[in-house]
Amino acid sequence: MKTRIVPPAEVFMLREELLRCGLSEIAGVLGKSVFRIADAPEIGCMAITLEHVCQIDSPTEQYKFLDALPESRKSELRETLARFFQATDPELNITDIDFYNLG
């Protein structure tokens, strides 16, 4: 899979899903973020299951907020992202989130 940029309409629906899942403080800071789904780096010589990472590019203030989230909230976010994206693409296996600062 090549890196896929998530279109704004899909990001809007994702933010709505985050609100429904009780992650309103996270949904609120993602309005100016760009989402990408990319293949996760392989560890070892052969991947049995392809893994993907959700990369989130955010302006500095939003990046600082996301990067400082407790591991439990990051885990909830990852699980919600995985459910959301797998609903339309069952082959996606989101195993991680990477946050990037747009500056």
Using DSSP, state whether 12 is helix, strand or coil.
helix
- The pLDDT of 30-47, averaged and rounded, is 79
- The count of other CB atoms within 10 Å of the CB of residue 69 is 18
Rounded Cα distance, 2 and 68, in Å = 29
Domains annotated on the chain, with CATH? 4-101 (3.30.300)
Q: What is the DSSP-derived secondary structure letter of residue 28?
A: H
Q: What pLDDT is stored for residue 44 in this prediction? A: 58
- The pLDDT of 30-38, averaged and rounded, is 93
> What would the DSSP string read from start to end of 48-82?
SS--EEEEEEE-HHHHHHHHTS-HHHHHHHHHHHH
Question: Measuring CA to CA, which residue among 97, 93, 51 is closest to residue 74?
Answer: 97
Strands of the sheet with 4-5, listed across from one edge: 4-5, 34-39, 52-58, 94-101
Whether the per-residue pLDDT at 27 is higher than 80: the answer is yes
